[in-house]
């Protein structure tokens, strides 16, 4: 059975869920999620002979949330994972990330190949650094309503999401029934990110009322500020990662995504998926699960678990 505890690392207190014994596997969740997002992976990976650890990431859930917006860069997040490996008494680990956790995993592998000996990313392809600041690039292309832009003003998205946390979770995790999975990434003036979506739509089969209740209870306590601050460092991350322009990740790697995930169906994502071998010369598998959406490890746990375990043992 998984157990939980809080451990200090990198000046913060991390809430972690863990199970099993053996080589260390770190699971990094995305937004707006928690260590709970890995509930289907933790027992399966532990049973396969690994010590699996899923933290609530910096600013999320029951982990510390620094007040400074600038304390949420990729460097802070990778530093957290390096410190967690040490705090857990290990020198090396395999790192797996989904959504925002994927850039953390990819950059951890890029910055510290001595520690992170294998890397898997779910939903978000490996880094390919564009020519300019991402938010600036959006503006130059005439885009002013992308959700990254909406998330920039401290307090604005927080107020929208915290008004009714249960409804927020149902809409964001449960989906909106849109024909175009990327459509919700654009925020209509005055409508906010949730954009008039119906919180009473039936939940998809993979998400239960108990799951929504868990996410809701935790987010009612923590609020959304910490996780949103990750988005407020998008341009800063671009600036900080300049030394790794064009760098490759040479460790064994794995990529998993759903064919209906808006992250990989958009113009930028589709190109990154097509060209990821340039960044990942040692890519062992590129698994696109037909008909699956963004919350891939919750939606299709059996296939994700099988691919992760084969990769871990390979």
CA distance 103 to 126: 7
For the annotated catalytic residues, the residue numbers are 99, 294
Predicted local confidence at residue 8, as pLDDT: 98
- For the chain, the average pLDDT equals 96
Question: Whole-structure pTM over 0.95, yes or no?
Answer: yes
Residue 248, pLDDT above cutoff 80: yes
What is the residue range of 229's domain?
A: 3-313
In the chain, how many domains are there? 1
Do the strands 12-19 and 24-28 form a parallel or antiparallel pair, or are they unpaired?
A: unpaired
Across the range 176-186, mean pLDDT stands at 79
Residue 169, pLDDT above cutoff 80: yes
CA distance 216 to 166: 5
Across the range 212-241, mean pLDDT stands at 98
CA distance 177 to 201: 9
Residue 245, pLDDT above cutoff 80: yes
| Pick from 70-79, 109-118, 259-268: least confident | 259-268
Q: Which residue, 98, 197, 183, 176, is CA-closest to 147?
A: 183
From first CA to last CA, the distance across the chain in angstroms is 25
Q: Any idea what the CATH number is for the domain that residue 110 is in? A: 3.40.50.1820
Q: Which residue, 180, 187, 183, 190, is CA-closest to 144?
A: 187
- pLDDT tens digits, 280-298: 999 999 999 999 999 999 9
3-state DSSP helix/strand/coil % of the chain, to nearest 5: 45, 15, 40
Count Cβ atoms below 10 Å from residue 284 Cβ, excluding itself.
16
Residues contacting 274, CB < 8 A, separation 6+ = none
The 3-class SS string of 66-108 reads: CCCHHHHCHHHHHHHHHHHHHHCCCCCEEEEEECCHHHHHHHH
CA distance 173 to 120: 22
Q: Within 13 A of 222's CA, how many CA atoms are on the CB side?
A: 26
- pLDDT tens digits, 119-160: 999 999 998 888 899 999 999 999 999 999 999 999 999 999
The phi-psi region of residue 99 (left if phi > 0; otherwise alpha if psi is between -120 and 50; otherwise beta) is left
Q: Which residue, 265, 311, 258, is CA-closest to 288?
A: 258
Residue 222 structure tokens: 């923590």
Q: Which residue, 227, 231, 275, is CA-closest to 255?
A: 275
282 vs 75, 133, 250, 255, 285, CA distance in Å? 24, 29, 6, 11, 9
Predicted local confidence at residue 294, as pLDDT: 96
Cα dihedral 119, 311, 1, 32, rounded to 10, equals 40
């Amino acid at each position: 059975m998984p157990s939980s505890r809080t451990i200090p690392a990198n000046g913060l207190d991390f809430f972690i869920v863990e199970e099993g014994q053996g080589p260390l596997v770190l699971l990094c969740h995305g937004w707006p999620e928690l260590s709970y997002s890995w509930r289907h992976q933790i027992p399966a990976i532990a049973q396969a002979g690994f010590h699996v650890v899923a933290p609530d990431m910096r600013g999320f859930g029951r982990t510390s949330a620094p007040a400074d917006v600038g304390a949420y860069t990729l460097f802070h997040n990778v530093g957290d994972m390096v410190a967690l490996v040490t705090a857990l008494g290990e020198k090396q680990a395999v790192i797996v990330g989904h959504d925002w956790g994927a850039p953390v995993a990819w950059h951890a592998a890029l910055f510290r190949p001595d520690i992170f000996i294998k890397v898997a990313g779910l939903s978000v392809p490996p880094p390919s650094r564009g020519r300019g600041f991402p938010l600036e690039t959006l503006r130059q292309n005439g885009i002013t309503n992308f959700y990254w832009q909406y998330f920039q003003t401290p307090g604005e998205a927080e107020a929208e999401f915290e008004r009714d946390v249960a409804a927020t979770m149902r809409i964001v995790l449960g989906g909106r029934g849109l024909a175009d999975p990327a459509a919700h990434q654009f925020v209509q003036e005055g409508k906010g990110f949730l954009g008039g979506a119906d919180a009473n739509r039936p939940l998809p089969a993979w998400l239960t009322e108990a799951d929504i209740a868990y996410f809701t209870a935790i987010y009612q306590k923590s609020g959304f500020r910490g996780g949103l601050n990750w988005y407020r460092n998008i341009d800063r991350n671009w600036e900080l990662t300049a030394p790794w322009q064009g760098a490759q990740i040479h460790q064994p790697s794995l990529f998993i995504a759903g064919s209906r995930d808006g992250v990989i169906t958009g113009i930028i994502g589709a190109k990154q998926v097509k060209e990821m071998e340039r960044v990942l010369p040692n890519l062992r598998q590129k698994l696109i699960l037909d008909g699956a959406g963004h919350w891939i490890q919750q939606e299709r746990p059996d296939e994700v678990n099988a691919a992760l375990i084969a990769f871990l043992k390979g």
